[in-house]
């Protein structure tokens, strides 16, 4: 009787332990945020395999693929993987993988540790999650904790923050690299739609890169020309401007860069990196 009880207890214990381990491997945190995905990571040969889209977006890497070959790139690092092949390339140097990338349910799965460490991230395992810590963004030697975006509508506004290092770095670089020609500040610009003056600008949103105490290290405001007048009255007025508030400088800014920022924020929200601080929209 005692032997039968012990055997049953052991079986239950092993089941719970294996289930806990499996569950742990299926919860992945990047920079302290539990990432969300329409498909879960899974274990294969004791390795955590993750959907390509989720890990590439969370680490700030761009993705190119053709047929069965995938290229992940970020800054000076380029990683090339091939589905069902145990060799990969990191900046042209061949490396052996413990588990081959594979496809399942129209998703490409790649080894988490290899990808994360290739892009300079630390990977740790605990009883409850796999944690990935990416390199933080520094502005003037001070670490950025979050990017805060604020935008307003006719009635109310929204303040929200992104807490993923990769998203914050990518968005900051978009601002830094897409400043056009330096220009004078427009005569009329505000949160309000100024409809009685040609050449007025409406602030689409403001972006503050915050330090650990919530203080703004750098701020950029994006403005759009208000087009409520005949085109001939708006000749010579740029379509989009950016105000580097920290340095009180104005530059031309292109619409494509602005759309890229909106897309990144939308992606950050889908993957669990965005937190709404306030929403007063009626």
Q: Find the DSSP H helices in the chain.
A: 2-25, 52-59, 112-118, 165-177, 255-270
Global confidence as pTM: 0.82
Q: Other CB atoms closer than 10 Å to residue 6's CB: what's the count?
A: 10
Per-residue pLDDT of the chain (282 residues; tens, 9 = 90+): 455 544 444 444 444 334 334 434 467 889 988 887 778 888 888 888 999 888 888 888 888 887 789 999 888 889 999 999 999 999 999 999 999 999 998 889 999 999 999 988 999 987 667 899 999 999 999 999 999 999 998 889 999 999 999 999 999 999 999 999 999 999 999 998 877 788 899 999 999 999 999 999 999 999 999 988 888 889 999 999 999 999 999 999 998 999 999 999 999 998 899 999 999 998
- For β-strands 274-279 and 107-111, DSSP reports them as unpaired
18: tokens are: 């294996």
Distance CA 152, CA 167 (A): 22
Which residue bears the tokens 């499996």?
A: 22
């Amino acid at each position: 009787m005692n032997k039968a009880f012990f055997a049953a207890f052991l079986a239950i214990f092993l089941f719970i332990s294996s289930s806990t381990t499996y569950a742990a491997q299926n919860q992945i945190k990047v920079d302290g945020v539990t990432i969300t995905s329409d498909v879960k990571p899974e274990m294969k040969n004791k390795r955590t395999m993750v959907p390509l889209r989720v890990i590439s977006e969370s680490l700030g890497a761009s993705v190119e693929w053709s047929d069965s070959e995938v290229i992940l790139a970020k800054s000076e690092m380029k990683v090339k993987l091939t589905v069902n092949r145990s060799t990969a390339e990191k900046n042209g140097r061949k490396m052996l993988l413990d588990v081959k990338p594979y496809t399942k349910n129209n998703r490409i799965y790649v080894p988490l540790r290899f990808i994360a460490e290739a892009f300079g991230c630390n990977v740790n395992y605990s009883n409850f999650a796999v944690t990935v810590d990416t390199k933080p963004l520094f502005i003037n030697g001070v670490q950025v904790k979050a990017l805060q975006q604020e935008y307003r509508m006719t009635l109310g506004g929204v303040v929200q923050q992104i807490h993923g290092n990769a998203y914050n770095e990518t968005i900051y670089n978009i601002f830094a690299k897409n400043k056009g020609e330096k220009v004078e500040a427009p005569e009329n610009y505000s949160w309000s739609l100024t409809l009685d003056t040609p050449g007025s600008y409406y602030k689409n949103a403001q972006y503050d890169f915050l330090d650990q105490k919530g203080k703004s290290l750098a701020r950029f405001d994006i403005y759009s020309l208000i087009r409520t007048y005949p085109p001939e009255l708006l000749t010579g007025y740029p379509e989009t401007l950016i105000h580097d508030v920290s340095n009180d400088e104005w530059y031309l800014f292109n619409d494509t860069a602005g759309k890229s920022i909106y897309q990144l924020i939308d992606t950050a929200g889908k993957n669990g990196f965005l937190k709404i601080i306030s929403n007063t929209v009626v």
